[in-house]
Structure 1
Amino acid sequence: MKTIKNMLVFAALLITTQLSAQTDKETTLKIINAQHYVFNASSAMPMANMDVNKVLSRMPGGSSSGVIQLTGSQYQLQVSKDSVEAYLPYYGRAYTATMNPDDSGIKFKSKDFKYKAEQKKKGWMITIQPKDAKDVQSLTLNVSENGYATLNVNSNNRQPISFNGTISEPKEKKK
């Protein structure tokens, strides 16, 4: 009986968490059309390969499924009309080593980029190609009507990686 009660409480928490992350269709449409939103990553999925899966299976709480939970983190992609700023982790194989340990992950600020948003049946496909980011070749963001999104990152010197998360309006900065 206690197990059933615990499962019901867990299911209620899971549903509440997912419902609070969603945005309504109008808000999603508004922020995409305004080109002013934040993608908040909740999980990362490196390109499937045996080496990465071996490492992930040895991590605490890890599995060999290839999905890394980022819950509680502040990993984001911020998009506005004049800039794109990324602060995301990277898991996978890099073909060129970085000399600066602060350069690990996907971190850049771009003021020179191509932006294309296409409306699909049940959402949008947004392609961003930064011209002044040294490693990132393209970012493809698939957004559902209720704000759930998948971000695919293609790099020049690394394997591709995908992130799941939500998009939302950016929080106003305190003055």
Structure 2
Amino acid sequence: MKAIVTLLIVGIIGFIQPQNSYSQKKKNRKEKQQIEFAETLKLVESGSFIFVPDRAFPQGGRSIDLTTNYGFLKVTDEKAESDMPYFGRAFQASYGSGEGGMKFKGEMLEQKMEINEKKKSIEYTFEVRDKDYYKIRMTISYGGSTSVGITSNNRSFINYNGKISVPEEENEE
């Protein structure tokens, strides 16, 4: 009988211990997410960051791996510059221009930022008028993972996934 009681007590202790460990891991993960979200929010609010896509999702097509097709969307000082590959339908294009990507540079208009503390995400939208009109919607998660959707007057919608980070300083010589 003593052996059964001892075995029962050891079993209860063994059952309680892993649950406490799981609770601690979950708490640590939430704290880590909160720290990453604060860092990401600080980066976006600084107004100076770069988005580098690793996958493109053209409308009505398969996703395309961009690890060998470098592109970027850079936001600095109320201006945006983009040079990302484009896959999809162009409604109007200049013949022989050689500018097949989502290339634009200009002042950011109609900027809006919405912060969702519960989901630890940021919705950042703005418009750029260069040779065309571009509406950019960025959904930024707590670790810097970002989804960028671009709407244009002359091209079908395209979405990119990637990460935002601090832009590298360009050395002027």
Instruction: Answer whether TM exceeds 0.5 for this pair.
Output: yes
Question: Given the alignment of the two structures, is residue 136 of structure 1 paired with residue 104 of structure 2, yes or no?
Answer: no
Counterpart code for 2:89: R
* Counterpart for residue 70 of structure 1: 66
* Structure 2 CA distance for partners of 1:47 and 1:128, relative to 1, 3 Å: same
* Counterpart for residue 95 of structure 1: 91
Question: Given the alignment of the two structures, is residue 44 of structure 1 paired with residue 56 of structure 2, yes or no?
Answer: yes
Q: Indicate the structure (1 or 2) with the bigger Cα radius of gyration.
A: 2
Q: Which runs of structure 1 show a deviation greater than 6 angstroms over 4 or more consecutive aligned residues?
A: none
Query: What runs of 5+ residues in structure 1 fail to find an aligned partner?
Result: 1-22, 54-65
TM-score norm. by structure 2 comes to: 0.73
Does the CA-based 8 Å contact 2:69-2:85 persist in structure 1?
Answer: no
Question: Given the alignment of the two structures, is residue 32 of structure 1 paired with residue 48 of structure 2, yes or no?
Answer: no
Q: How far apart are residue 149 of structure 1 and its match?
A: 0.4
* Counterpart for residue 13 of structure 2: none
Distance, in Å, in 1 between the alignment partners of 2:38 and 2:171 is 26
Number of aligned residues: 136
Does the CA-based 8 Å contact 2:55-2:161 persist in structure 1?
Answer: yes
Does the CA-based 8 Å contact 2:47-2:78 persist in structure 1?
Answer: no
Distance, in Å, in 2 between the alignment partners of 1:140 and 1:88 is 15
Query: What runs of 5+ residues in structure 2 fail to find an aligned partner?
Result: 1-34
* Counterpart for residue 165 of structure 1: 162
Counterpart code for 2:48: H
Does the CA-based 8 Å contact 1:139-1:151 persist in structure 2?
Answer: yes
Question: Given the alignment of the two structures, is residue 151 of structure 1 paired with residue 148 of structure 2, yes or no?
Answer: yes
RMSD across aligned positions (CA): 1.7
Residue identity (%): 31
* Counterpart for residue 123 of structure 2: 125
The residue matched to 2:94 in structure 1 has which SS?
coil
Does the CA-based 8 Å contact 2:71-2:84 persist in structure 1?
Answer: yes
